[in-house]
Structure 1
Amino acid sequence: MINKTVHIQDLGTKDYQETWDYQTALLQEIVDLKIANRKAQIDLQTPNHFLFVEHPHVYTLGKSGDLSNLLLNEAQLAAKGASFYKINRGGDITYHGPGQLVGYPILDLENFFTDIHKYLRLLEDVIIKTLAEYGIESERSKGETGVWLGVGTPFARKICAMGIRTSRWVTMHGFALNVNANLGYFDNIIPCGIKGKAVTSMEAELGKKIPLEEVKEKILKHFKTAFEVERFDY
């Protein structure tokens, strides 16, 4: 039975490993229900979740990423108060930290559509439309997942990174939008393994801090439209 309700949780500031474990548990719960449905030949609804979170300083490397894109050793990581994890999403290396809004949709795509490419493009659309509400013109960069500014110019810069994992059409991980993030932490990596391109934030583009709660509301508004969500459950 199709379920287009999405349960929203705002985790506040939460350790990366704890959040990763929580995502994994939610995904496994959905996968187990899908397997049980199939075995019993029944059709119980599977839930959908959307987590908002900010992480303490952390660098994460995707499963196909290159460790050489992390430009710090263990001692330097410790000196910067940052941790590091090699994780099971797609993509290369990225940074998460205070002032960055991270969204983790844990959706059973069989409730929506079974197309990973479409899923990523819709997530990008959600961010592009959210940024447009602030007068920030953003777009995709061909062959590079995420949301960018100044594509095709010498000033191309990434404002939102994306990386996901799926199991039996259930998603985890998601997007990281630089709202008021400290961009200096990106100097310690080759972001997403892409050399010669900068990163930016909403604060850097607009010259002022942006309320995270306001951005969350706009993201959810566009997410609801893009994914034809029937309702949010809080």
Structure 2
Amino acid sequence: MARKEKAALTDLEARLGYKFRDAELAARALTHLSAPATGRQGRLDSYQRLEFLGDRVLGLAVAAMLYEAFPQASEGELSMRLAALVRRETCAEVAKEWEVGPHVVLGVGEAQAGGRKKAAILSDIAESLIGAVFVEAGFDAARQLIARSWRARMYAVEEPERDAKTAMQEWAQARALNAPTYIEIDRSGPPHAPQFTIQVSLEGFAPAQGSASSKRAAEQAAAQAFMARQAGMENS
């Protein structure tokens, strides 16, 4: 790696609080699929595999942080907090704080299209860097990196609304109705970032739907949609 590039990586490492031993690994974590450097290897030389791994490491680390930080929180509340902390927008915010933009290697077209400022690319880079740290130094090092940038966000997230599924079940019980039923009606997106659509049904009422990146979160969204609709009808 050239001296100028090495200095730039050193600057990024200072913001990450982690120093890479393998500069090539760090470079791959910063290389978009559009970059000429990917050459014949294509996806194997881009950050995509590291992003795939980093996404899972981030989810596990944040889930563990939430479990420890909110001992009284229900599974539904933890799921909603997790979804807010690992979503694309949050990861992109972290990448901006790390100032990764100038370090991202892009193809000419993507660079001219403002790729270094795109939330999707910034989010992927945040996760790929986490994946690279995990590959090189293991989960504990990756967890520390995540904690430095996500812990304050974890406490800043407002308390989620009451577990919508529980609220809907209690609402149904109060009216002597059978428990709501949930069915998956659609699944889209790539395997590493699926999107589920769940429909909730309650006897005597029109069904409601909700979508999210996990079945449980989608069920919560569907229940919330049902309760919001009923509240609107009752208040009208």
Question: TM bucket by the smaller chain?
Answer: under 0.3
User: Structure 1 or 2: larger helix share?
Assistant: 2
The structure with the larger Rg is 2
User: Structure 1 or 2: larger strand share?
Assistant: 1
After TM superposition, the score normalised by the length of structure 2 is: 0.25
After TM superposition, the score normalised by the length of structure 1 is: 0.25
